[in-house]
Structure 1
Amino acid sequence: MVTLKSSTASTLPERLEHSLRGEVRFDDGSRALYATDGSNYRQTPIGVVVPRDKQDLIEAIRICREFGAPIVSRGCGTSLAGQCCNVAVVLDTSKYFHHVLDIDAGQRLATVEPGCILDVLRDAAAPHGLTFGPDPATHNHCTLGGMLGNDSCGVHSVMAALLGRGPRVSHNTRELEILTYDGCRMTVGPTSDASCERIVREGGRRGEIYRRLRELRDRYADLIRERFPDIPRRVSGYNLPALLPENGFNIAEALVGSEGTCVAILEAKLDLIPNPRARTLLVLGYPDVYSAGDHCPEIMKHGPVGLEGIDHKLISYMKRTGLHPSDIQLLPEGKGWLMVEFGADSREESDAKAREVMAMLEQEQNPPSMKLFDDSDEEAKLWEVRESGLGATAFVPNLDDTWPGWEDSAVPPEKVGPYLRDLRELFHKYDYEASLYGHFGQGCIHCRIPFDLRSAAGLRDYRSFVEEAAELVVGYGGSLSGEHGDGQARGELLPKMYGEELIQAFREFKAIWDPDNRMNPGKVIDAAPILSNLRLGTGYHPREPATHFQFPEDHGSFSRATLRCVGVGKCRRLDGGTMCPSFMVTREEKDSTRGRAHLLFEMLRGETIGKDGWRDDKVKDALDLCLACKGCKSDCPVSVDMATYKAEFYSHYYKRRIRPPAAYAMGLIYWWARLASRLPGLFNFLTRTPPFSTIAKKLGGIAPQREMPVFAGRTFKDWFARRTPRNPSGRRIILWADTFNNYLFPETAKAAVEVLEAAGFHVTVPPRALCCGRPLYDWGMLTLAKHLLRQILDDLRGEIRAGTPVVGLEPSCVSVFRDELVNLFPHDNDAVRLSKQTYLFGEFLNKEAPDFEPPRLHRRAIVHGHCHHKAIIGMSDEEELMKRMGMEIETPDTGCCGMAGAFGFEKDKYDVSVKCGERVLLPAIREAARDTLIVTDGFSCREQIEQLTGRHGLHLAQVMQMALREGPHGPSGNLPERAYPGVRNPPGRPSVPLLLAVAGLGLAAAASVFVATRSTKS
């Protein structure tokens, strides 16, 4: 328990709020949000400070010192040893304090703020042909401050070592500007004897620190030389060897890896290295991972820039979880693999290096299988396989959950093979199964182990295992940690590695910097016991509430689903992929998938938050900006499904409560559309003609900047019912007439009919009004959604059991059949059947019409995938189909368009919606030539594009219809203008009959809403 000094003037948060430009958050929601990192540990902080700049950080520490409050610095918060959670004031530098301040290409130096993301630095250095050597798998979201705290390494730290820098961040740090808890600010780095003597003579706190560090060095120098393992990946313990005279008395290097226990970093000057222009990947397959490890020293002689190892268990786990199925097929034959990357100024040179190794290996008696990759896309896919190791091994179906705790031990590289064999034997002793992979070229082994962290017996085994594992790795001359640091997970084990004398040296080193033990106390040295502060433990008894969704992949448990997040923080990247669009805009932890998952976990735990259960407003606030894009379902390495969690939470939060106006205006669009189909002209008049449209938007919670979609003058189903059936002898399919394409934009569905019939199919459409209820999920109207799905199952039962394919046009609706349907009805065989025989339009044609020759169309196109399309179905079939048509397609990494169904229409979400679109998609469309097609299957995506760029997006069905009708070059001139169907009443005074009709329609609408909302309250 931390006791703060009292102040008669104000409280700590009041003083901070008065003095800082940044944000001060001492509320329970923020404290719960930062209670854990990527580790097994959980400690609720005193509060959170988000400094704007360096001065803010300095002032925050000064005020914390005034109150005696401990502090912990935090970047991305992905630490696996518990060093980013503490009963302290968290200083989060990632939101504002994150810039690259300078790139000095001549000196090969970069100056950065601690919250700077590694890839931001690498992107800034790239135009100069430079990069930063250490690069963890989290490179697109981890911060340099966190890397300095952990002394991180990564895949290509081998490259830094080749250039004489050493593989760790400490080896690549020139200077640090630091601040001690007691307010001493200085810049540190290598220090000559003369400089050190001058600083000591100057006196003051700085002189005292230098004097005491020199004395500590002299007292322990021989022991440091004797006991510190001389291996590439020695991360455990403080970097005392950097203080030795032969190492330049480098105080910056000594502080790197101290995990925030000594100083706060204000600024860092880092060494850059030349970045090879070309890379070549050679993958070697061995009979087992041990043989792969044995070969590492021989491979390293040839100077690779990366040497990674993976075993067959990792690949098997990926297959079970459905990760990278096509990428895995690229691997050569084997049960253990080495991924060997070579770099050079040209592809020819890097290829030559790889072929030299292949020639050498071919001379051996039992050479490995070999595969050389020259295609950059294939290389990227294989690196994605390697970087997905943590996610692939965390929650494997039908296996026990795995955890960190012994996930990054390191040995001399020449001993990797024997160590892997002995480590596997130790696993067997405790009946643990785990994949072995990692940075084999530098002796660092990664694994997640199925520790039982909930029972007393399981915890005893966990403790006993890490004790034995520590003795094993020390016996190999290795390090407890080769990358992730000590924190609490390994701090208690350090005496096994260094002995008590050096532990005393560590204790003195910390006391020189932090005599009051206020900097991240209880980590590294005098660490809290390994089994304390556990996130789980024997006291973990979360609520197990009844839910609408059945969570079959999480054993039917919502609490287990909220535990799924492993804290890796991939949802905190600022570009690439789909998740998490709101975080990309706000850079707020609560707007990340991880932040939301952690708050749901805390809600069910019911300590810091959750006392009101499902009615917790802190959780509601965090979920508010979730676009329910489902990006996390596929982008998250452990498939955290926040869209589903949000729907479940909202269903309980709003039970017997009035929802926001937009829930009834947009969530019930199916019923409004059915009403509007009776009098489309009237509805369009009311929603698009001022002042009626202004009033309608205000009543519906719609952003005034938005234009409401136009209802069609005639629905698709009306049109289809009056047609003569075609291809009666062809294969029977059902075209799913969703609400959007039936009532709002039937041209898409008509185009689909034309194309499907041209492919020889007999197209049918269910005559009854049916809806999958897609918009209902955004508002948690799950009872009503289940009712609609049950209608579909009942109405289509014969077709479902006959195996009739269902072809959908709207990705979000198809995703309901493929995802929510089975989650709500996992034991209903017809629901399972329907999920397997439902296809998106392009997917169906590419997979189920092998004899269909798509029409040629020689046009350029920008292709944007709806979020649900990318997350649940994937874009490969559509892309392949367009390439078969002869189209030249560009698929920019656009992420989410920002409309996300109703999200972008809501008044209080408009700004975030626009910023999501402006990140990549909208600028790309504005820059495209006028005759470039804009292809996107999502109705909401087309609305966002049209409303914010004036360009008209086309569904793939319309593109194919264009090719069928107009030939390979399409229509002459620019794109065909979108013609809104329905009647466009001009502004003006409405007639008396129209006003009467409005009144009658209003009564009917009110009755409809009343009936619908009644069913959502159960």
Structure 2
Amino acid sequence: MMSASAFTILPSSHARAHDTFPGVDTLASELASVIRGEVRFDAASRALYATDASNYRHIPIGLVIPRDEQDVMATVDLCRKHNAPILTRGAGTSLAGQACNAAVILDFSKYMNAIGEVDLASNTLRVQPGAILDRVREKAELHNLTFAPDPATHSRCTLGGMIGNNSCGVHALMGGKTVDNIVALDLLLYDGTRVTVGATTEAELATILAAGGRKAEIYAELKRIRDTYADHVLTKFPRIPRRVSGFNLDELLPGGDFNVARALVGSEGTCAIILSATLQLVRSPQFRTLVGVGFQDIFIAADFVPQLLTHPLIGLEGVDSLLLEALRRKQKSLSSLELLPSGEGFLLCEFGADTQTASDALADAFSQFVTTLATNVNPRIYTSSEAKRVWHIRESALGATAFVPGKGTGWEGWEDAAVDPVQLGSYLRAIYALMNEFGYQSPMYGHFGQGCVHMRHNFDLETAPGILKFRDFMDRATDIALAHGGSISGEHGDGQARGALLPKMFGPELMHAFRDFKRAWDPDNKLNPNKLIDAHQPHEDLRLGADYAPWKPATHFAFAEDNGSLASAALRCVGVGACRKTDAGTMCPSFMATGEELHSTRGRAHLLWELMQGEVLPNQWRNEQVKESLDLCLACKACKSECPVSVDMATYKAEFLAHHYEGRPRPLAHYAFGRIDVWARIASYFPTLVNTINATPGISHLAKSLLHIHPNRTLPKFARAFTRSKEALNPGHPSPKVDDLHLRPTAKSVFLWADTFNNYFHPSTMQAAHGVLQEAGFEVQLPTKHLCCGRPLYDFGLLETAKEYLLRVLDALAPQLAAGTPIVVLEPSCASVFRDELCNLLPNDPRAKKLREQTLLLSEFLIKHAPHYTPPQLNGNIIVHGHCHHRATMSMDDEMTLLRATGANVTLLDSGCCGMAGPFGFEKDKYEVSQTLGNRVLLPAVRNASTNTLIVSDGFSCSEQITQNTSARPLHLAELLTKKAMP
């Protein structure tokens, strides 16, 4: 055992590899001349790829995004010519630091992601390294097959990364780790050799050796390693389900099939570059049943795992109460948490079969068995819809525990050791005691059925004593895992987090064998150097470190949960990469359209963090590359809810733009779109005239040119303001207009906010809402003066003006705020200003909190304040597109409750962002992205809807995207509630 005093503090690796690598400009130039893909050696690209999902940071030399194998081979040839190291990378979600290095990075995820056809004779499938796991599984499921390993990052992790890390996941219990499901690998070596490897019979091995050449040289060395170290492998490799640490020398042992492909799985890109892989698919149970079991604590849950494994489970996961507490603190999955049985430790036990009856029978028998184990053991069988929600809790674990409000960041490091399931309870108690000794906390969750438990500890990685303490903990935790016959990595690989600890686990002889194995493939040590072999220390090259001192400029937003610092806010992103999914949800729309890391929430957060760090990105607020990255952010706010650590890129973007343009002129469009409320108010006095002028060809073309509006876009038509309509002004109306500055509201009053979009463009929505609120029995108040929440101002960072708008609103609504009058807002993006930005911009104004609490969407108001309101009964179909801000800050539950109460068949589209996003979709250089997003789900669904289908879309921008691309006329909820029949 070593104490902290045995280690020394090593400086964080903040060297600029690009600047220090000799001949970098020549290398970049030569690559650009031959690569069909993309070559990026600029500062922003290097900053983007400086970290993965680990604690580590290495500034790369440059980035290559190859289009095909020829690009990869050309890149390797030129890197070899210039003696440049290479790192291959997929989704960049590795947790041990193996996906960042001072090297030329090859990112396979954008282009090299092809998936072949399933070979039904052998149940195999060939894929390129950038293929995403979920796309692979979808293709396999067409034949009731699957690729068994499925880590929680399945929506974005790539097969190349899974092979590099030997990934596992929930259903490794059913079908094994990645290593158990690889048939062959097509490889490129640093010296330019191309070779295909797989299982090898003794006769085939003899043929290869006799043929001579580079392949024979490698195989001869592998045979020597096998013959020399077989006994050490047999005695030192732990015989447990989740030994991921080290190289897979056990795949070369005598009596086996000398499987060179499987020997390379888990080598973390240190030996060869994967050009393609042939996967073994297994039968996928088509019907599944999930059982949740609650225990007194997570240790007792672990004790019972061996007994539960006597049943034919295909998945056995554990979660503890600290994980649930983290989700509650973040206000995530709250309704789903109620599905868990009573207890403080939980096991999620999944069965599968060819029929639902058979699967349910297995679950029923299991539940009866569980109740005989001990008192206070509580099983619950879930429906398929409930199971999906419970699984989401488990899959959210990494991100949910990475940043917890009020507690701070949980860091990786000791996050995936594994032991035999029989030893699991003892191991967890020993680690828990060590955590108590060090003053650390961490949730415990993961693959209990295979003895692999994930943790994220509150390590102090910013002070010298804290870093030495972290290093000491890692050493002693290793001793505990090894004492229990375990592996220091059970899924995420060794990388830098655990590479330097491998000698403790394997001993000097096997470390020699590992070094020889690496040298056989990569004698020049140019593929992902200093990972696994000759690894840097776990406390070296930290993203933070004892010398971490970010720039902390004054900001407009308070960033109260982030210590008042944009740097701290950007540090929330720990690289989980949930923003890189492309198949569901809303986050991150621009990444869905471009596939560029630069346009992902993670990429933008990393750039902002690097900007605050001040080493790679120059010019602080004036940095043009950061601005370029933020330009394609649609400010949809989806990251605030869908990102497991609640990165709020819409707010960060507004803050950056406010400073970027500080003291200098802005583009005309900023004022035209940002102050649209002013122009709309003026136009509403003469709407016919203004609309005629706008539609005049010459004038329209000039206006679009000046404002950089795409020619295919049509300017929205202005209308006479509802607040000046006959209905609103009629003094005999049962809901008289209220002077918001002077008249006292009544107990049954509701204030209907006249937002710019509905008041000046779609007054029919205001009229409909006015009628619905009256019908519900409320006196409707309207503003007597022009007020605006300032939503478009945030898109351009006009934050000083935004504050002025908000203060004007708070002054005008003083009587309503004092009386607690509900304020109904029809436009979701405007409601989100009051529910979100308001208190962040004006944190010390008590009126701001009141307005936030009193602001309700129409659906929320009717559900909460008008329980006896009955919507009209409609037959037919309703398709609903939820506004991004509605989903992100308020949820669609109340809206869907009201719509389903109409009796219609209601479908909520998983359409993500519509792509319009206020002025975004009108801008010439963003039109293609806007259309790409609209055509993902929303526009096809609208075009394919039957004639008796109503389209409901509450957002003004969303409605514009629909009307400008289809013949449909979408309705706001308020308008639908006034209908008496379907079309």
TM-score (norm 1): 0.93
1:912 paired residue number? 929
For residues 837 and 555 of structure 1, the distance between their equivalents in structure 2, rounded to whole angstroms, comes to 27
Structure 1, residues 306-345: CA drift from partner, whole Å, max 9, x if none? 1000111111111111110000001111110000000001
SS at match of 2:408: coil
Distance in 2 (CA, whole Å) between partners of 1:311 and 1:725 is: 59
The answer to whether the 8 Å contact 1:135/1:154 transfers is yes
More off after superposition, 852-861 vs 77-86: 852-861
Q: Alignment partner of 2:318: what SS?
A: strand
**Residues 764-819 of structure 1 deviation map (CA, whole Å, 9 limit, x = unaligned):** 01111110000000000000001000001111122112111100000000000000
SS in 2 for 1:207: helix
Give the match for residue 635 of structure 2: 628
User: Structure 1: how far apart are the matches of 2:724 and 2:123?
Assistant: 66
2:646 aligned partner: 639
1:487-566 equivalence runs, <5 A: 487-566=495-574
**Selected match of 1:652 from 655, 659, 669:** 659
Per the alignment, do residues 510 and 889 of structure 1 end up closer, same or farther by CA in structure 2, a change over 3 Å counting?
same
2:433 to 425, 439, 445: 425
Deviates more, 1:809-818 or 1:300-309: 300-309
d(CA) in 2 for partners of 1:394, 1:154: 19
1:150 aligns with 2:165: yes
1:458 matched to 2:466: yes
- State the secondary structure of the residue aligned to 2:586: coil
Matched, 1:83 2:98: yes
Q: Distance in 1 between matches of 2:682 and 2:105?
A: 53
1:727 CA displacement = 6.1
Q: Distance in 2 between matches of 1:140 and 1:428?
A: 35
- 1:697 offset after TM fit, Å? 1.1
Quote the residue 1:665 is aligned against: 672
1:336 aligns with 2:345: yes
Give SS of 2:255's match. helix
Decide whether the 8 Å contact of 2:722 with 2:767 is kept in 1: no
| Cα distance, 1:226 vs structure 2 | 0.5
Equivalent pairs, count: 957
What is the correspondence of 1:170-249 to structure 2 with a 5 Å cutoff?
170-249=179-258
Q: Indicate which of 602, 612, 623 corresponds to 1:604.
A: 612
Please say if residues 5 and 68 of structure 1, whose CA atoms lie closer than 8 Å, have aligned partners that are also in contact.
no
Q: TM-score, normalised by structure 2?
A: 0.96
Describe the SS at the equivalent of 1:542: coil
* Structure 1 runs (4+) greater than 3 angstroms displaced: 1-8, 713-719, 727-730
Q: Which runs of 5+ in 2 are unaligned?
A: 1-14, 737-745
The answer as to whether partners of 1:677 and 1:715 remain within 8 angstroms in 2 is no
Q: Which position in structure 2 is the counterpart of 1:1015? A: none
* Separation in 2, partners of 1:674, 1:363: 72
Deviates most, 642-651 or 389-398: 389-398
C-alpha separation between the residues in 2 aligned to 1:723 and 1:506? Answer: 88
Query: Would you say the 8 A contact 1:75–1:142 is kept in 2?
Result: yes
**Residue identity matched to 1:789:** L
- Cα deviation for residue 947 of structure 1 reads 0.5
Q: 2:378 aligns with which of 359, 363, 369?
A: 369
In structure 2, give the amino acid aligned to 1:339: L
- Whether the aligned pair in 1 keeps the contact of 2:427 and 2:484 (CA below 8 Å) is yes
- Mapping of 1:385-400 within 5 angstroms? 385-400=393-408
Alpha-carbon shift at residue 193 of structure 1 (Å)? 1.1
Q: Deviations over 1:715-766 (max 9, x none)?
A: 4444413353436876111101000011111000100000011000111011
Question: How far did 1:365 drift?
Answer: 4.0
Confirm whether residue 681 of structure 1 aligns to residue 696 of structure 2: no
Aligned to 1:56: 71
The 3-state SS of whatever aligns with 2:757 is helix
Asked whether the equivalents of residues 5 and 67 of structure 1 are also in contact (C-alpha less than 8 Å), the reply is no
Q: Does structure 2 conserve the Cα–Cα contact (< 8 Å) formed by 1:660 and 1:701?
A: no
Amino acid at match of 1:316: E
RMSD of aligned C-alpha atoms?
A: 1.4
> Structure 2 residue aligned with 1:291, among 293, 300, 304?
300
Q: Give the letter aligned to residue 474 of structure 1.
A: L
Alignment pair present for 1:586 and 2:590 = no
Partner of 2:795: 778
Q: How does 1:661-740 map to 2 (within 5 A)?
A: 661-719=668-726, 720-722=728-730, 724-726=732-734, 731-740=748-757
> How many angstroms does 1:63 deviate by?
1.1
Query: Do the aligned partners of 2:171 and 2:314 also contact (CA within 8 Å) in 1?
Result: yes
Equivalent residue for 1:946?
963
Asked if the contact 2:68/2:111 (under 8 Å) is kept, the reply is: yes
Equivalent of 1:352, from 361, 370, 378?
361
Aligned mate of 2:946, from 929, 954, 962: 929
Identity over aligned residues, as a percent?
52
* Aligned partner of 1:138 among 153, 158, 162: 153
Does the residue aligned with 1:265 lie in a helix, a strand or coil?
strand
Shift of 1:6: 6.7
Which residues of 2 match residues 275-290 of structure 1 at below 5 A? 275-290=284-299
Counterpart secondary structure, 2:351: strand
Change beyond 3 A, Cα 1:784–1:5? closer
Q: Structure 1: how far apart are the matches of 2:509 and 2:731?
A: 90
Q: What's 1:957 paired with?
A: 974
Match of 2:326 among 302, 314, 317: 317
Aligned to 2:620: 613
Whether the 8 Å CA contact 1:491–1:523 is kept in 2: the answer is yes
Match of 1:257 among 253, 256, 266: 266
The AA in structure 2 aligned to 1:169 is T
Work out the CA distance in 2 between the residues paired with 1:247 and 1:499.
Answer: 24
Question: Is 1:752 aligned with 2:760?
Answer: no
CA contact (8 A) 1:318 1:325 kept: yes
Residues 296 and 376 in structure 2, CA contact (< 8 A), matched pair in contact too: no
Q: What is the CA deviation profile of residues 208-266 of structure 1, one whole-angstrom value per residue up to 9, with x for unaligned ones?
A: 00001100110000000100011111011111101112231110000000000000000
> What SS does the corresponding residue of 2:404 show, helix, strand or coil?
coil
Question: Which range is displaced more, 844-853 or 875-884?
Answer: 844-853
8 Å Cα contact 2:794-2:802 kept in structure 1: yes
CA offset at residue 657 of structure 1? 2.2
Q: Deviations over 1:423-460 (max 9, x none)?
A: 11111000111111110000000110000000011001
* Residues 949, 723 of structure 1: alpha-carbon distance in 2 compared, 3 angstrom cutoff: farther
Q: Is the 8 A contact 1:730 1:761 kept in 2?
A: no
Structure 1: distance between partners of 2:579 and 2:57: 20
Residue deviations 1:37-76 (CA, integer Å, cap 9, x gap): 0000000000000000111111111111111100000000
Corresponding residue SS for 1:48:
strand
Q: Distance between the aligned counterparts of 2:689 and 2:421, measured in 1? A: 76
Q: Is there any run of 5+ residues in structure 1 with no aligned partner, and where?
A: 161-166, 975-1018
Paired with 2:561 and 2:724, the residues of 1 have a C-alpha distance of 37
Residue 725 and residue 452 in structure 1: after superposition, are their counterparts in 2 closer, same or farther (change >3 A)?
farther
The one-letter code of the counterpart of 2:762 is F
Letter in 1 for 2:616: T
Among 570, 574, 581, which residue is 2:578 paired with? 570
The answer to whether the 8 A contact 1:662-1:906 is kept is: no
Which residue identity does 1:637 align to in structure 2? P
Counterpart of 2:10 in structure 1 is: none
Q: Of the candidates 790, 794, 806, which is equivalent to residue 811 of structure 2?
A: 794
